Chains A and B, each alone.
Chain A
Amino acid sequence: MANERMINSVSVGVVYVDSPGTFAISNAEKTHILAEIQDGLDTVATNEPRSNLSWAYSTLSVTLPNFTPWEGANWPGLTESFYRRMDAALWSDTNQKIYFFNGSEYIRVDPANGWRADPGYPKPIAGNWPGFPASFASSVDAALYSDANQKIYFFKGSEYIRVDPNNGWNVDPGYPKPIAGNWPGFPADFAAGVDAALWSYKNTRIYFFKGSEYIRVDPNNGWNVDPGYPKPITGNWPGFPADFAQGVDAALWAVPNQKIYFFKSNRFYNQYIRVDANNGWNVDPGYPKPVGLGWEAEDKWRDPALAQLGFPAGGDGITQLTQFFQGGVGAQFGYIVFFTKMPTAWFAYAGGLRVVMRRISGSFTSWTSIDSVLGHETGHIFGAPDEYAASNCACTSMFGKFFTAVNGNCDPCAANPVICLMKGNNLTNLCQWTPAHIGWEAFLDNIDDGLYADTNDKLYIFDGKYYLRYSPGFALDPGYPKPIAGNWPGFPASFADGIDAGLWAEQNQKIYFFKGSDYIRVDPNNGWNVDPGYPKPIAGNWPGFPASFAAGVEAALDSRPNQKLYFFKGSQYIRVDPKNGWNVDPGYPKPIAGNWPGFPADFAAGVDAALWAEWNQRIYFFKGTRYLRVNPAANWSVEGGYPRDININWRIPFPTA
Chain B
Amino acid sequence: MRNSKLAVFTAVLAASGASWAMAADKTKINFWTWAPPAPVVDKAVAAFEKANPSIDVNVTFLESTAYQDRLPLALSSGDPVDVAAVQTSSMVKLVKDYLEPLPELYDQYGTAPIDKQLAPKALDQAKLLSSDGKLYIAPMGTLGSVVAYYNLDLMKQLGLTVPKDRAELAAFVKTIKAKRPDLVPVAFTGANWFLDEISDTIIEQGAPGWFNKLRYNKGGKFDGPDFKAGFDATVGLYKDGIFGKDTLDLDYGRAVELFQQGNVVMFLQGTWEMGALSAPFRKTNGLKLNNVTVSPLPVMVDGGKPAIRSFIEVGLSVPKNSKHKAEAMKFIQFMTTGDGVGQWGDTLFVVPSMQGYKLPNDIFSSEQSAKDYGVVADLLLNASSDRNNVSDFSNVVGDAIIKSITSGTPTDEQAKYLQGEWDSGRYSNAL
A in complex with B: no
Where the two chains meet, the residues of A that have a C-beta atom closer than 8 Å to any C-beta of B are none
Please report B residues at the A interface, Cβ cutoff 8 Å: none
